Amino acid sequence: MALPSSLPYSTIKSTPPHLSAFNHQPLTLPATYRSTTTTNRRFSKLTSFRCSSSSFSEKHHNNANPPKSDDLVELPLFPLPLVLFPGATIPLQIFEYRYRVMMQTLLQSDLRFGVVYSDAVSGSAAGVGCVGEIIKHERLVDDRFFLICKGQERFRVTDLVRTKPYLVAKVTWLEDRPSGEENLEELANEVEVLMKEVIRLSNRLNGKAEKEESRDLRKNQFPTPFSFFVGSTFEGAPMEQQALLELEDTAARLKRERETLRNTLNYLTAASAVKDVFPSS
């Protein structure tokens, strides 16, 4: 059974990585964890999606030469109404002419491009994004493409190189700073426990049995990649996801996710209590 329509948040899906979320109103979070000023920079108002051939250096494909935060490279950007996180996968369908041309170029040179969140209302694009690497593609007879892309490094846009025929920008790499004395393992464990409880209550409200895969959410991930995984599950709240993507501290990201999950758990607990009293609701 779905949540009563009077509740402010939509039902959360029962299994990761699609812990749906918060479609009806923005999340309410403590001011301490709200978006930072420097990481919310926006660049250029975009009226359409544009991309370009990549000048992304081959050295970034080599694990022996990981990208450094002071590297400056040109990268084609693909504004989308979603947020891509490192380690997450997204399906895309390429059907417009400019995107088909982009794909032809990428498949012959570099399989990577930058994904940046673009607000559907304002048309503005975020200044921090994530590299998407094409890990699987299918070309159709009419030159459309089906893609599976996986998130890689995060980046910050420093300058626009050109907007026509495709959008290309200079970017620098974004990495988390050391978290000092914070106990990241403890924070990650707290977040995992909250996620499990959210999934359990969501399943209960929807009359679904608990699934085996929800019992081990971390799957031996270190705290930083786990924090990205958690952020990728907040699918219905792109602005919150963007804020999480822009944070440069794993502890801060986990704390913010912990607070978000606690808020969600409070709503689900209340909904569960209502269901117990009024089973036909």
CATH number for the domain including 83?
2.30.130.40
- C-alpha distances (whole Å) from 84 to each of 81, 153, 206, 245, 261 are 10, 10, 28, 8, 20
44: number of Cβ within 10 Å = 16
For residue 249, give the amino acid letter.
Answer: D
Claim to verify: residue 86 and residue 169 sit in the same structural domain: yes
Question: What is the average pLDDT across 7-31?
Answer: 31
Residue 166 pLDDT > 90: no
For residue 251, give the amino acid letter.
Answer: A
DSSP state of 132: E
Residue 140 pLDDT > 70: yes
Instruction: Identify the pLDDT of residue 152.
Output: 97
Claim to verify: residue 83 and residue 127 sit in the same structural domain: yes
Claim to verify: residue 163 and residue 86 sit in the same structural domain: yes
Per-residue confidence at 281, pLDDT binned at 50, 70, 90? Answer: low
- Is residue 115 one of the residues assigned to a domain? yes
Model's pTM, two decimal places?
Answer: 0.74
* Tens digits of residue pLDDT in 45-59: 332 222 222 333 333
Instruction: Identify the pLDDT of residue 248.
Output: 97
Claim to verify: residue 101 and residue 167 sit in the same structural domain: yes
Burial of 251 (0-12, 13-18, 19+ CB in 10 A): buried
Claim to verify: residue 80 and residue 144 sit in the same structural domain: yes
What does the angle CA 237 – CA 20 – CA 134 come to, to the nearest 5 degrees?
Answer: 80
Claim to verify: residue 155 and residue 208 sit in the same structural domain: no
- Is residue 5 one of the residues assigned to a domain? no
Residue 80 pLDDT > 60: yes
Instruction: Identify the pLDDT of residue 14.
Output: 31
Beta strands in 102-227 (DSSP E): 112-117, 124-126, 128-139, 145-162, 168-174
Number of domains composing the chain: 2
Instruction: Identify the pLDDT of residue 256.
Output: 98
- Is residue 50 one of the residues assigned to a domain? no
- Is residue 24 one of the residues assigned to a domain? no
Claim to verify: residue 149 and residue 188 sit in the same structural domain: no
Q: Where does a domain end: 142, 173, 204?
A: 173
Question: What is the average pLDDT across 241-262?
Answer: 97
Claim to verify: residue 156 and residue 79 sit in the same structural domain: yes
Domain that holds residue 265: 184-277
Question: What is the average pLDDT across 136-163?
Answer: 92
Q: Which two tokens stand for residue 78?
A: 């693909």
Per-residue confidence at 70, pLDDT binned at 50, 70, 90? Answer: low
202 neighbors 261 (Cβ within 8 angstroms): no
- Is residue 67 one of the residues assigned to a domain? no
Claim to verify: residue 149 and residue 193 sit in the same structural domain: no
Instruction: Identify the pLDDT of residue 165.
Output: 73
Instruction: Identify the pLDDT of residue 138.
Output: 92
- Is residue 179 one of the residues assigned to a domain? no
Claim to verify: residue 77 and residue 145 sit in the same structural domain: yes
CA 201 from centroid of its chain's CA atoms: 24
Q: Where does a domain end: 173, 202, 232?
A: 173
Claim to verify: residue 80 and residue 166 sit in the same structural domain: yes
Claim to verify: residue 92 and residue 148 sit in the same structural domain: yes
Token pair 């089906």 is found at: 146
Residue 245 pLDDT > 90: yes
- Is residue 35 one of the residues assigned to a domain? no
Instruction: Identify the pLDDT of residue 159.
Output: 95
Q: Which residue has the higher pLDDT, 44 or 108?
A: 108
117 neighbors 235 (Cβ within 8 angstroms): no
- Is residue 53 one of the residues assigned to a domain? no
Q: Where does a domain end: 173, 208, 232?
A: 173
Residue 17: asked if its preceding bond is cis (omega within 30°), the reply is yes
Q: What do you get for the CA distance between the two ends of the chain, in Å? A: 9
Per-residue confidence at 214, pLDDT binned at 50, 70, 90? Answer: low
Instruction: Identify the pLDDT of residue 69.
Output: 56
